[in-house]
Structure 1
Amino acid sequence: MNVGQILSHKGDDIIAMERGCTVMEVAKLLGERRIGAIPIVDGGTICGIMSERDVVRGIAIRGGGVLADDVSTLMTKSVFTCGKDDTVYELMKMMTERRIRHVPVVDGDKLIGMISIGDVVKHRMQQAAAENEALKDYIAQG
């Protein structure tokens, strides 16, 4: 299975924030949507990513005033992305090696979705259940 297939099950709702917004605006959207990270875009092209952890670290280091700062002060600017044709194995390997939990999916420079570690785990569990059922059917047929 590939990333595009996971995206097709997730739906095509893309949540992103434009460059120039505040840390507070991002934090508010993270809470409202109950998500862990948001890509930051400039005209549809990813220029960073902001996670809950980035917000917490910023507050811990600089205090609550950081919430009024431009998102660029805290966002991670070096963003690891994947494409819709990448395999789930390649995605899991990248997430594990880079210790990241959210990966924007791009087509060229355009953001087309976001995959979280939770999406990958859900996919793997569904795949394992399907394989289990197939084995049960095979054994039952004798």
Structure 2
Amino acid sequence: MKTVAEILRSKQHAAVYSVSPSASVLDAISLMAEKGIGALVVLDGNRLAGIVSERDYVRKVELLERSAFSAKVSDIMTAEVITIGPRDTSQHCLQLMTDRHLRHLPVLAEGELIGLLSIGDLVKETIAEQAGLIQQLEQYIRGE
């Protein structure tokens, strides 16, 4: 079972995109669309202030008939962010995401943002681990 640090090192697209709390919601969703991502970390300077996702946009802007032009990221972001550390395991992260209905987990090391894991990153890792285990078991059965 891999650690968060190992998963981050193996990610092809390790860039973490961010937005400030004072940015417009339109700027945030435009950046998400441009980068093909579902969430942005919200940074106030270097401090993690929250996370904003497409889900936040749909639930807190569209459904409430707010304007994406005038609403600020701070109006719709999740401020109480659940984070993980580089030594946490993929199993722990999957359990946390399942229990809390999360799709993204910011990774902090000594209070500093070092990455972002998505549910897709963890599913990909789990599939790779299981494929490796299956291959080992098949080789064992064949006596190799």
DSSP 3-state at the match of 1:67: coil
Q: Which has the higher helix share?
A: 1
TM-aligned CA deviation for residue 66 of structure 1: 3.5
Q: Report sequence identity in percent.
A: 35
- Tell me the equivalent position of 2:63: 60
- Tell me the equivalent position of 1:70: 72
1:74-121 deviation per Cα after TM superposition (whole angstroms, max 9, x unaligned): 111110000010011111111111111111111122111110111110
Give the 4+ runs in structure 1 shifted more than 2 A.
none
- Tell me the equivalent position of 2:33: 31
| 2:32–2:39 Cα contact (<8 Å) kept | yes
Q: Distance in 1 between matches of 2:139 and 2:47?
A: 47
Cα RMSD over matched residues? 1.3
Distance change in 2, residues 1:55/1:83 (3 Å): same
Matching residue within 64, 82, 85 for 2:84:
82
- Tell me the equivalent position of 1:5: 6
Q: Distance in 2 between matches of 1:49 and 1:67?
A: 19
TM-aligned CA deviation for residue 17 of structure 1: 1.4
Q: Unaligned regions of 5+ residues in structure 1, if any?
A: none
TM-aligned CA deviation for residue 18 of structure 1: 2.2
- The normalised TM-score by structure 1 is 0.93
1:32-56 deviation per Cα after TM superposition (whole angstroms, max 9, x unaligned): 1111111101122210100001111
Output the amino acid matched with 1:77.
A
TM-aligned CA deviation for residue 73 of structure 1: 0.4
TM-aligned CA deviation for residue 19 of structure 1: 2.6
**Counterpart mapping for 1:1-142 below 5 A:** 1-11=2-12, 12-57=14-59, 58-63=61-66, 65-141=67-143
| Greater displacement, 67-76 / 45-54 | 67-76
Output the amino acid matched with 2:92.
E
- The normalised TM-score by structure 2 is 0.92
| 2:20–2:73 Cα contact (<8 Å) kept | no
Q: When the two structures are aligned, how many residues end up with a matched partner?
A: 141
Q: Unaligned regions of 5+ residues in structure 2, if any?
A: none
